Amino acid sequence: MTAAGRGRSSVRLVACVLLAIGLQASHASQRFAAEGEIELAFSPRDDAEKVLIGLVQDARKSLLVHAYAFTSRSIADAMVAAHHRGVKVEVLADAQMNRREKGNAIGRLLAAGVPVAFETAYSAAHNKVLIVDAEGPDCAVLTGSYNFTWSARNRNAENILIVREHCPLARAYRDNWRRHRADATPIRALPWKP
């Protein structure tokens, strides 16, 4: 190969590397202009579960859920009620944390016909997220450290943050939820009764 040919090959290689780095960097984060309304609660001082259930009750079209640990019957019952009133409720849960029989609320969802899938592609599917009506107009995203458990409500120092009426943000969370759902395993029943 001539020096000119090696030079063009080197330029192509550098361009490919820069393109790959650029593609990786473009997926490092997403930024959005501030809009909407923000609500927060800190447990155990605030009743974060009541705030979370209120958001579930506000859902009109869809409710997408990421759950790490899910033992709260009250939250499960609110999701079942949303499902019964025609809201499309779907749940992704960490496989290891939710295979346990003791106190598990996943069975309540399954018994009511709410689609549940376990995430198994990660050491921990540690998301705690609710995505409400991502298409708008009354979209909302709840996130934070708060697990859907008695301990999160009563014993742990936890937080939730709700961003309302910021539909581009809700759609970004929805798209991430869909990516996770594509790799998750649907669960039809648990080996015990709820």
Over the stretch 133-144, which tens digit does the pLDDT of each residue have?
999 999 999 999
Q: Is residue 102 classed as helix, strand or coil in its secondary structure?
A: coil
Lowest mean pLDDT among 20-29, 61-70, 110-119, 132-141: 20-29
The encoded tokens of residue 140 equal 């909302």
Which pLDDT score is estimated for 26?
52
pTM confidence score = 0.82
When pLDDT is averaged across residues 105-132 and rounded to a whole number, the result is 91
From the options 3.40.640.10, 3.30.870.10, 3.30.479.30, 3.30.420.40, give the CATH code of 47-187. Answer: 3.30.870.10
Pairing mode of beta strands 37-43, 62-67:
unpaired
pLDDT value of position 17? 40
Q: What is the pLDDT of residue 97?
A: 82
pLDDT at 191: 55
For residue 44 the two structure tokens come to 């155990």
Tokens representing residue 69 in the block: 């640990």
In this predicted structure, the answer to whether residue 187 has a pLDDT above a threshold of 70 is yes
> Alpha carbon 86 to chain centroid distance?
20
Q: Output DSSP code: residue 96.
A: H
pLDDT at residue 3 in the model = 53
Out of 7-21, 71-85, 112-126, least confident range? 7-21
| pLDDT score recorded for residue 122 | 80
How open is the CA angle 145-94-82, to the nearest 5 degrees? 75
Instruction: Examine the pLDDT at 6 and tell me if it is beyond 90.
Output: no
Q: Which sequence positions are flagged as catalytic? A: 126, 128, 133
What does the mean pLDDT of the chain come to? 85
pLDDT band at 98 (very low <50, low <70, confident <90, very high): confident
> What percent of the chain has a predicted confidence (pLDDT) above 70?
82
